[in-house]
Amino acid sequence: MASLQNSPSLNRSLFLSSLPHPHSYLHVTPAFSCCTRRPSSFLVRAEQASATTASASVSPDRPGRRQLLAVGIILPSVPLLSQNLVSFAAENKKGFIPVLDKKDGYTFLYPFGWQEVTIEGQDKVFKDVIEPLESVSVNVIPTSKEDIREFGSPQEIGETLIKKVLAPPNQKTKLIEAKERDVDGKTYYTIEFIAQAPNYTRHALSTISIANGKFYTLTTGANERRWGKMKDKLQTVVESFTLSNV
């Protein structure tokens, strides 16, 4: 397989050097503050869950900690959402919150209960308030290309992204699947991969596309131990990512 950065005809070396590392692992404390991360790194490092959180039970007539936190996070922002967006979330995907970025021209859904955080170099980041490896990020950078296929096939780009961009170099990565889809005349590549660290393995999905003179990357994932429970939700997040002309 031809290396993505070794094809001068497609400026792939420029592509790699210009991309920040949107999904390298970010160290977080239980309060979700960030520290000791590599420049342009992003993926969340799992913290050990406390014994009380792991063993806590929820009575039928009382909301759990996750629900209380989620309500506290989401409710203050609800008046800021347009009625159309709220209606869209309620009617089409219950349990998800819509994000609409009119400036950069993209929209996607994320699961109810995830918290927005600010990460340098990222356009948007949301993550679970209890499981920090469960997150979604959007990265946007300028490009002179007009179609994602100009950089190569889904397999080629997928192999290069997970080794050079989406995971730290000290982690073992494996590309599981790479495929192409078309939505309203725009081409999206979706890749599924795993990144193995010494104390955890993250199972992730990423979708990439080009529009408006920009290269867009959305990446979401979860701890491998929770993949079976989360994969349908994460697939919804990836498939909801769409671009519009701005």
Say what the pLDDT of residue 169 is: 87
Say what the pLDDT of residue 93 is: 82
The residue ranges of every structural domain in the chain are: 4-48+64-243
Asked if the 4-48+64-243 domain carries CATH number 3.40.1000.10, the reply is yes
Rounded distance, CA 100 to CA 118, Å?
Answer: 17
Q: Report whether 202 contacts 182 (CB < 8 A).
A: no
Say what the pLDDT of residue 207 is: 97
Say what the pLDDT of residue 19 is: 44
What's the order of all strands across the beta sheet hosting 242-243?
96-101, 106-111, 242-243
What's the order of all strands across the beta sheet hosting 25-28?
34-35, 25-28, 43-45
Q: Report whether 193 contacts 158 (CB < 8 A).
A: yes
Rounded distance, CA 193 to CA 244, Å?
Answer: 27
DSSP 8-state secondary structure symbol assigned to residue 170: T
- State which amino acid sits at residue 184: D
Say what the pLDDT of residue 69 is: 46
Residue 83: burial class (beta carbons within 10 Å; 0-12, 13-18, 19+): exposed
Q: What is the CA radius of gyration of the chain?
A: 18
pLDDT less than 50: residues of the chain: 1-63, 67-91
Q: Quick one: tokens of 234? A: 């994460």
